[in-house]
Amino acid sequence: MRRLTLKQLMTIRAVAQAGTIAMAAETLNVTAATLTSRIKHLEEDAQTLLFDRIGGRLRLTDAGQEVVNAATRIHPVLNDLDNTLTAIRDKKAGRVTVGVVSTAKYFAPRLIAAFSKQNPRIEVSISVGNRQEIIESLRDYSIDLAMMGRPLLDFEVSSEYFGQHPQVVIAAPDHQLAQRKAIDKAELSSESFIVREPGSGTRGIFDYFLGGIVVRQPRIGIEIGSNETIKQAIMAGLGLALISAHTIEAEVAAGRLVVLDVVGLPIMREWFVVHRADHILSPIGQAMWDFIVQDGKSFLPKVV
């Protein structure tokens, strides 16, 4: 039945309920000739009669009853689809994929959980990676939007600021500089630093703040691609690190790390929500975007 259409199915159902083509045509707000044509085409395609014509009225054949049964099963599916599309249009249901740079994973789950609580029918997928990985995900359209810093990319994006992002130097509580005030960054030149991998946002800040400025460039003791491993190394007394303050909230509160009082710090970067300029956000994506812009700041850790 290659020519079967939803209109034909609903026509058979309506005629069966009304008993005559004229009454069904009035219900469906079409002409009787249109309904007659639909029934004829469907009967030709099915190669069997769907109605017996008896005394000016139409009575379903066994084949016609099967068509009505199918139309009856489809009807609630179509209603559900209509309700779903309406919910999507009204930003109440659907799916959105959010990219999160690894530094943002310390607050992004709370933010997304709050959004999901307000919008229980919206499914949110989270993709976590370093800055370069999130950029690549934006580039190949595998995420709808991203939370990241400095959105200067080699393709056009739309971005909007939603909060400050402080960068600080951390140490173990028993480090010799832990209790000092107003430490000049030149004093850090003899310290061993544990840093993120080249290309990460945090490594860029390290190179900007300490590279080529101090009397002797700080010695890079270890290079690590994970904020969690860096924090463990600092707590173990392996050196200092310049790191996002938003990654150390729990450790500072528990007294396992301290923020050094270095002149010129914290360096304030910014958090942005970003999407490709040539990718128009769906209503659901726009709802997530609006939530991040309006409420994202309230979920940022408060350390310094």
**Residue 70 lies inside a defined structural domain of this protein:** yes
Residues 175 and 242 in one domain: yes
Residues 185 and 152 in one domain: no
Helix/strand/coil (H/E/C) assignment for every residue in the chain = CCCCCHHHHHHHHHHHHHCCHHHHHHHHCCCHHHHHHHHHHHHHHHCCCCEEEECCEEEECHHHHHHHHHHHHHHHHHHHHHHHHHHHHCCCCEEEEEEEEHHHHHCHHHHHHHHHHHCCCEEEEEEEECHHHHHHHHHCCCCCEEEECCCCCCCCEEEEEEEEEEEEEEECCCCCCCCCCCECHHHHHHCEEEECCCCCHHHHHHHHHHCCCCCCCCEEEEECCCHHHHHHHHHCCCCEEEEEHHHCHHHHHCCCCEECCECCCCEEEEEEEEEECCCCCCHHHHHHHHHHHHHHHHHCCCCC
**Residue 159 lies inside a defined structural domain of this protein:** yes
This prediction has a pTM of 0.66
pLDDT for 78-95, tens place per residue? 766 775 677 667 667 778
CATH number for position 16: 1.10.10.10
CATH number for position 142: 3.40.190.10
pLDDT for 245-271, tens place per residue? 999 999 999 999 999 999 989 999 999
Residues 6+ apart with CB under 8 A from 99: 127, 128, 129, 134, 137, 138, 143, 145, 146, 147, 148
Please give the residue range of the domain that contains residue 216: 166-268
Highest-scoring range by mean pLDDT, 12-16, 68-72, 164-168, 282-286: 164-168
pLDDT for 146-169, tens place per residue? 999 888 778 999 999 999 999 999
Residues 211 and 226 in one domain: yes
